[in-house]
Amino acid sequence: MRLPVLMLGAAVAASSAMAAPRGFTVEDMVKMERVGAPVLSPDATRVVYTVRTTDMDKNRGNTQLYLLDLRSPKAAPVRLTQADASSSEPTWSPKGDAIYFLSGRSGSSQVWRLPLAGGEAARVTSLPLDVENFRLSPQGDRLALSVAVFRDCVDLACTKKRLDQQGKNKASGKVYDKLFVRHWDTWADGRTNVLYAAPIDAAGKVSAEPVALSGKLDGDVPSKPFGDNGEYHFSPDGKTVAFSTRIAGKTEAWSTNFDVYTVPATGGEPKNLTEDNKAWDTKAIYSPDGRTLAYLAMDKPTFEADRFHLVLIDVATGKKRTVADNWDRSIADYRWTPDSKTILATADDIGQHPLFAIDAASGKVRKLTGNGYVSGFDVLKDTVVIARNDLSSGAQLYQFKLGGSGEKATQLTNVNEAALADVKFGQYEQFSFAGANGETVYGHVMKPWDAKPGVKYPVAFLVHGGPQGSFGNSWSYRWNPQVYAGAGYATVFIDFHGSTGYGQKFTDSISGDWGGKPLEDLQKGLAAAVQKFPWLDRENSCALGASYGGFMMNWIQGHWSDGFKCIVNHDGVFDTRGMAYSTEELWFTEWESGGTYYDHPEAHEKFNPALFVKNWKTPMLVVQGDLDFRIPTAQGLGTFTALQRRGIPSKLLMFPDENHWVLKPANSVLWHHEVIGWLDTYLKK
């Protein structure tokens, strides 16, 4: 059953509009509905998308599918799915008469089909194992799907039987003979993500045993831990599948050598198209006319933050050429336009994340959207639909015509309007200054929600992680400046040397210099902000950061110890030696310090916060997720032990069930109250 989304009554809307304005809270944030990426129908008249809601009682999110008719601008969205289990990855049938999606409503994750003419969703797959993700062929007669299996098993049932047997084993020990033994937040169990394909019969179901497409390769498709179906695509005729994988072997933990392969959709020997490049190749997509295969490539082996540039392969000849090589931005996502002449792509760009158009022939690049962060998009016929957010709004859908300006796009959704009707958000502004080496560095400031002229406000100085990332004009459900603005704080956040969106040279400049130019940028950036914005109370400021930002909190303790009244360190590096031997993705630490610890100990120790604990004196709140295998628990415990041993006021907030991020709604609420309470203790005395 599919029901239209009901609008709130006029009386409720009027009541909300008349309510006294208030600041944004963490409770507001965790309860917000979250709009996912749009997917256009084949005729570009409708768009399906996901909306995630939060069930605080069950302490989890729930994602369902919604439909908008673009032919009726005032039409309300229609909710397509109603099950208690989430529904995700919506895909249109070739005729536009049904939606395929992934759901665990049957007790395991399977592919379902929902007819739009009426009727209930029917299961397409009934596999003994979970379907991790999938794609529908352009003809609608075949699925490509990823399943985690033991590669020595002859079929899916074998993997299921072995898992059941393991569950009955009273011994809990596991034996490993290679890395990864654990990755992100999960211990390895011997299974690999294998890409399969299976035909869909006349009844609309997969009845035959799926055929392995990547099973002969010792690598995950898609990659772990965050890979998705963007890492494999059908050719327009449905006969070939292009995918990317990294061969595991014994070197997986220190390799970024992903390659692009093609394989017949019915099964066969995968062909490596990028064996010559030992760096990262991924996200291969055929042009709609089938003549060209595009993919993203890096140049530097073992460097995860190198620039992703676009490479095109002539399918007939195999000849490769790089497109827009002089455009110094790293592509995050892309799509072909229907005429196969243009590629739409997103990339970080001076504190924003817009959508660009790249001419496939000339490489000419044109920016299509303005400020903000384009988190998802689709293009068919002459229609472009994007999901866009910024520092004052979660993602909403917008529509504009191909060839036109996205800055004049029509807004399609307005989720959270009623829930946040009485919220007044903090005003924000981007600024620039002369940072390290006299180079231009950018940052943002945000006022408290109720800022008044002539009043100074305490400062939350936020430092982003990555370190090759950006803290720019985007909405976050973890580190959101609006929560601090709602609590009465001004915020300052700097895109220091190493940040993305300012050219690859700028991004590269942090490697081997973690405590150098970035610290100088932070010091100069805060000083520049205080000079430019007199409402910032520099004498009442606290520094906060996670991951690399957490490292910087420890580095500030040893090298800018009189800079702040308090510090918040979330999952930050404390001891670079311990980090080098305990983090899971070794390529990261080894690239950043010029090699392995045993070959280059002096480079690893150059910016080791543990060596400067004697200088520490600032009160610090330490936060650590016990499932964080990127920056393991010993790093957070080391930080807290150093603080306690030095007699410095400190607290440890430990989450036994969180990884590098705090994701569970109740934990997010606790995290924010503890963090803001720490600021209140030292900045609002």
User: Strands 342-347 and 320-323: what pairing?
Assistant: unpaired
Structure-block tokens of residue 271: 């062909």
**Residue in 164, 167, 169, 213 with CA at minimum distance from that of residue 192:** 213
Span 423-683 CATH architecture: 3-Layer(aba) Sandwich (3.40)
Q: Which amino acid is at 201?
A: D
Question: What is the C-alpha to C-alpha distance for residues 453 and 491, in angstroms, rounded to an integer?
Answer: 17
pLDDT of residue 19: 80
pLDDT of residue 74: 82
SS3 85: coil
pLDDT of residue 450: 97
Residues of the chain with pLDDT under 50: 1-17
Whether the pTM exceeds 0.75: the reply is yes
SS3 260: strand
pLDDT of residue 18: 63
| Contacts of residue 677, Cβ cutoff 8 Å, sequence gap at least 6 | none
**Residue in 577, 559, 545 with CA at minimum distance from that of residue 615:** 559
Structure-block tokens of residue 272: 């490596």
pLDDT of residue 3: 45
**Residue in 590, 578, 648, 654 with CA at minimum distance from that of residue 620:** 648
Output the CA torsion 26→31→36→41 (10° steps). -160
The structural domains of the chain, with segments of one domain joined by +, span 423-683
Please name the residue that has the structure tokens 């336009």. Answer: 337
Question: What is the C-alpha to C-alpha distance for residues 635 and 580, in angstroms, rounded to an integer?
Answer: 11
The continuous run of DSSP H or E covering 28 comes out as: helix 26-31
Distance of CA 286 to CAs 239, 262, 311, Å?
A: 12, 11, 12
